[in-house]
Amino acid sequence: MSELRALRRLLVLVILLWAAGCGTYSSEERQFPGLPEVTRPSQEKRLPEWIGKDRKEVVKKLGEPTLAVPMESNGGEELYFSHEGHKYYFETNDKRDVKTAVQLN
């Protein structure tokens, strides 16, 4: 009988530890290598000074993008940069001019 109680207690302990681990895990904390981070609007800072500038000017200032994704919808690109501890997101149009510029952190 005491073995049964000990087994039940062990099972309860395992379940509690598993539940505690699941409770602390959050998909927002997960990061996938090679993919851009998701931010909330409160974490974003718009950068109007970049709007209309050529992609080459952005690369000259921030270096090569860490990720460049072609946009089939308009022929432009989504560009992700990491520079001096900050992360940036830019969208260009088909003429390679910046139409969206955001600092992500």
Round to the nearest angstrom and report the end-to-end CA distance of the chain: 59
Which stretch, 32-36, 44-48, 63-67, has highest mean pLDDT? Answer: 63-67
Q: Which H or E element spans position 101?
A: strand 98-103
User: Is residue 24 left, alpha or beta, with left meaning phi > 0 and alpha meaning psi from -120 to 50?
Assistant: alpha
pTM of the model: 0.61
Which CATH fold topology does 2-29+42-103 show? Beta-lactamase Inhibitory Protein; Chain:B, domain 1 (3.30.1450)
Q: Is 98 exposed, middle or buried (0-12, 13-18, 19+ CB in 10 A)?
A: buried
Domain spans, the chain: 2-29+42-103
Residue-wise pLDDT tens digits, 61-92: 999 999 999 999 889 999 999 999 999 999 99
